[in-house]
Structure 1
Amino acid sequence: VDIVVHNAGGAGPHPGALAIPDEEWQGALDLNYLAAVRLDALLAPGMRERGAGAIVHVSSAAVLTPVGPFLHYVAAKAALESYSRGLSLELAPYGVRVNAVSPGRVATPGGEATRERWARLNGAPSQTNADDTTPLGRDGQPDDIANAVLFLVSGRAGWLTGSNLIVDGGEFPRG
C-alpha cells in the first residue's frame, strides 16, 4: 500500500453539547478518529519499511468554529488533526507523509440529511444551498475534496507533511 485515505465521518446533531449521550460521544470518536488510528496501525508500518507513502485524513473545517450540537463530531475531528500532525513527525524520517484535508459544506446525501435534521431541531427551514453562507457562493462538490486529496498524495506535494488543507469556499473564518 502506497496511499491511505481515511474518509469516514459523521455524527448527528443534538440540542446542545450536554444533550449528547455517552454512546454517541464514543461512536463519534470511533468513527471519526479511532478508525483512522486503527487503519494507520495496519498500513503505515509497511510504508515505513519501504521508505515511502502518503496518508491523508479527512477532517472537517467545522473544527475552526465548534458548536455544541455537533461537539462530539468536531472534538473527534480535532483529535484526528492533532494525531495527523503527530504521526507526520513520527513517519517523516521514513519518507512517509501524513496530511489532513478539512472540507467545509459539501453537497452529499449524508450532509444534506444532517443539515435537515439540524434545521428540524431548531424549527428552522432547511437551507438547501450555501449561496448566502459561503463566500464562493456554492456548496463544495465531492470532486473539490477529491482533488485536494489527489494533490496531497501526489509528488507535487512531496514537501508537505503535517499540513491541514482547508477546502471550504471561505465558509469558516480564520485568523
Structure 2
Amino acid sequence: MALEAWFMEEDEEDQRLPHQKNPPEYVSMDHLAGLRVLYWNLNPNKYEHDPDLDRIRQERGYSFMDLLDLCPEKVENYDQKLKNFYTEHIHADEEIRYCLEGSGYFDVRDKSDRWIRVWIKPGDLIVLPTGIYHRFTLDSDNYIKLMRLFVGEPVWTPFNRSQEDHPARKKYVTKIIEYINVTPLEAY
C-alpha cells in the first residue's frame, strides 16, 4: 500500500478532517523525498520480530523505541495534547513514527510553505527530517498506536514557528536548496 499525501485546503474546520482541495491535488513520493521525508511500508503485525524494521533501525541508529496509544480513553487531557501536537513546530532531531494501528495525519510544509497532509496508516513508517516545519493530528477515527523511534535517549522538544534562526532549521533549508540545485525540474 502506498502512502497518501495531498496539498491541504486551509480552513478552520475540524483538524481531524482530510482537508483535501476540490479537486484533490495529490503529492508524489518523489515530492516528499525532495523535502527529505523518508518512508517505508512494513508489516505492523510482526513489528516485534521484523528483520526489515531491525535493518532500518540499525542502519539509521535508532536505538530507543517506545509505543504510544493516542485516543481519548487512554490520554489524559486528550484535547489539549492534540492541540499541542497540531501547533506548527520543528525539532532538533528527526521525528520517526511507525503506525501499528489506527491512523492519523502528519502535515509538513513544502519549499513554497504550502501544507502537505500525509495520511499514515498501519505499516507506514515515516521519518520527518530535522528542521522541517510540521504538525500532527489524529483523523476522525480518533485512534492511533505509534512506535516512536529515537537515536539515543528520547528527546521530543518542539520549537514552535518561527524558527528561521534555529541551527536545525538552517541546516534543513541548506539541504533543500542543495537538492533543488541538483535535481531536474520534472522531479517536482
Q: TM-score category by the smaller chain?
A: under 0.3
Greater fraction strand: 2
Greater fraction helix: 1
**TM-score, reference length from structure 1:** 0.25
